[in-house]
Chain A
Amino acid sequence: MGWYIGRRLLQMVPVFFGATLLIYALVFLLPGDPILALFGDKPVSESARAALTAQYNLDRPFIVQYLLFLKGIFTLDFGQSFSGQPVLDQILRAFPVTIKLAVVALVVEAVFGIAFGFIAGLRRGGIFDSTVLFLSLVVIGIPVFVLGFVGQYFVGVKWGIVRSTVGGDPALVDLLLPGIVLGALSFAYVLRLTRNSVAEGLSADHVRTATAKGLSRPRVMTVHVLRNSLIPVVTFLGADLGALMGGAVVTEGIFNVPGVGNLLYQSVIRQEGPTVVSVVTILVIIYLVANLVVDLLYAVLDPRIRYV
């Protein structure tokens, strides 16, 4: 196990450097003058330009800029955005909101996805199963911003059940609708995964043994079928937590949630390079760690898998 973790960590190193270099190049190497963008229509004075160029190392060679940025990341010094805000402050304000939102989405998709998937898997080929399977395909097919608007229009505007936009420092209740919209896609995947896994588990040898030795059907279904079927589902949910954090750009925009997605989108539009590279770097780290945890979780949940 120790060796496996070591090897996986080593594999993560080139991916981390590659992904951060890629995003850094996309932001800073492509044409466009951030200082000019900062001043808008007004002319830029020479001294202001010189000061800003020095502050953001824009006169150094690209690779030196990148290395200085990495040094900042490792010492938790993210620098300042072009508008003068410390990037760390922006991040510390946005991440708690997005984590809350992602947890709401995760709970929604786990509870409903597993419940529906379990029932559908037990009655494979039945009316419930076919209906739920088709509906899950529909949910996957509807782009998230369409779902967001429809939800916002009916639940927020027409029926007035919840507030249609969220705004600053949201409570968990306010995040319920955005959370459902954000988790809808993964809900459909969790449902299908659970259904297939349960359907497969029903014909497993240990389930037949459990039935043969006289255990009650509810006990066989919950302890022997469901628990073993959840292994791929749990690992999917783990990887999804990382994906949800980055995938919230659209949902947060629609519901005006002041989270990471919103911060990132605003920073891209305003060409705030320092903020963009810092936030994306954190998202890449979350993605890499989530994938590592999922692989290790597999070994913990399924005793047949042993990494050497």
Chain B
Amino acid sequence: MSEPTTGRPAPGAAVRPGQERFVAPLEETPLAAVDAVDDSAPTGGVFSEAWKQLRKRPIFIVASLIILLLVVVSLFPSLFTSTNPRFVDLSTALDGPSAEHPLGVTRGGTDVYARLIYGARASVSVGILTTVMVVVVGGVVGALAGFYGGWLDAVLSRVADVFFALPLILGAIVLLQTVRTRNVWTVALTLALFGWPQVARIMRGAVLQVRTNEYVTAAKSLGLSRMATLVRHVVPNALGPVIVVATISLGTFIAAEATLSFLSLGLPPNIVSWGGDISNARATLRTNPMVLLWPSIGLSVTVLSFLMLGDALRDALDPKGRTR
């Protein structure tokens, strides 16, 4: 008996005697669909998944739009007002809102609205500068401590503890008092000096978790050097929590800069800043509270939008810290 009694013979397939089942022809199997998957398409990584989730969240959209507006305002303040924020006309001092001065005039005779617009630049640039420095320093220290462990971890962690034991504002006050030239750079450097341990701690924790994953072992067994493993495989996968904490920190650094300027230990008076304006408006709190409220509102909305962005990013990027 050479012909099978059941089923159809596969075209050209050699059929052994007694065989009752055979493999279906290729065009009839779903394997074709598997083969049809486009290999060159980008893989759905953590970040693209997070983006899909973020797009649908109103809190993320609102926060992003406010931050976008803030960046535009700080880059091109002259688009929003043609008044010079440093132009003084004492005869109009403390005037209420008018056509010329939509938000009124400060005690010093400057336009409140123009100062509100120009003040954004100081806050945003100190916030971004400090965050970049903190992420670089804290990220490197945290990654090295977490990945290599041992005595390096012990030393780096203790150094971080030392800086962590001094509260941000306290340390900044003491240091800035002795600094002769105070500008955006020195204020940002000071805040970064006392701010990096938090990022280092987060990074170290994340690296410790990622380090035990299979793909790290695979990279090691394929002969990749320790440093290359850290840079190419560990750090990219440990970045999620760091991005979250960096976004929230950006808000707190902006608040810290304003606090320092308010204590007259931050930016000097020749730089227009919300913190300095709030401090100047103290004297007229009882008679003209709105002069104080406008920069306060600008500051609060800025800090809040970074916090909201961080909150949304946490839900998307950091599954452990999810608020649910």
* Nearest Cβ on chain A to B254's Cβ, whole angstroms: 9
Q: List 12 A-B contacts (CB under 8 A).
A: A26-B174, A142-B296, A142-B300, A145-B258, A149-B278, A196-B324, A243-B167, A247-B167, A249-B173, A250-B263, A280-B174, A284-B165
A26 to B166, CA, bound (A): 12
Whether B118 sits at the interface, judged by CB under 8 Å, is no
Chain A residues positioned under 8 Å from B303 (CB to CB): 141-143
Given contacts A146-B299, A149-B292, 10 further A-B contacts (CB under 8 A): A23-B166, A27-B178, A31-B180, A32-B178, A141-B307, A145-B258, A145-B259, A146-B296, A149-B278, A246-B167
A78 to B272, CA, bound (A): 41
Q: Which residues of B contact A (CB under 8 A)?
A: 158-159, 161-163, 165-167, 169-171, 173-175, 177-178, 180, 251, 255, 258-259, 262-263, 265, 278, 282, 285-286, 289, 292-293, 296, 299-301, 303-304, 307-308, 311, 323-324
Tell me whether A250 and B262 are in contact (CB under 8 A).
yes
Chain A residues positioned under 8 Å from B171 (CB to CB): 23, 26
Chain A residues positioned under 8 Å from B296 (CB to CB): 142-143, 146, 149-150
Whether A137 sits at the interface, judged by CB under 8 Å, is yes
Chain A 137-157 against B: per-residue CB contact (8 Å), 1 yes, 0 no?
110111111100110110001
Tell me whether B311 and A269 are in contact (CB under 8 A).
no
Interchain residue pairs A-B with the least CB separation, the first 6: A141-B304, A18-B162, A30-B178, A146-B296, A19-B165, A143-B255
Tell me whether B178 and A249 are in contact (CB under 8 A).
no
Chain A residues positioned under 8 Å from B265 (CB to CB): 268
B167 and chain A: residue at smallest CB distance: A246
Whether A271 sits at the interface, judged by CB under 8 Å, is yes
Tell me whether B304 and A138 are in contact (CB under 8 A).
yes
Whether A79 sits at the interface, judged by CB under 8 Å, is no
Residue of A124, A138, A150, A284 touching B166 (CB-CB under 8 A): A284
Tell me whether B259 and A15 are in contact (CB under 8 A).
no
> Which residues of chain A (232-265) have a CB below 8 Å from chain B?
243, 246-247, 249-250, 253, 264-265
Tell me whether A249 and B177 are in contact (CB under 8 A).
no
Tell me whether A124 and B299 are in contact (CB under 8 A).
no
Chain B residues positioned under 8 Å from A264 (CB to CB): 170, 173
Chain A 258-301 against B: per-residue CB contact (8 Å), 1 yes, 0 no?
00000011001101000010001001100110000000000000
Chain A residues positioned under 8 Å from B161 (CB to CB): 11, 14-15, 18
A247 to B256, CA, bound (A): 12
Given contacts A22-B166, A31-B178, A284-B165, contact A141 B300 (CB under 8 A): yes
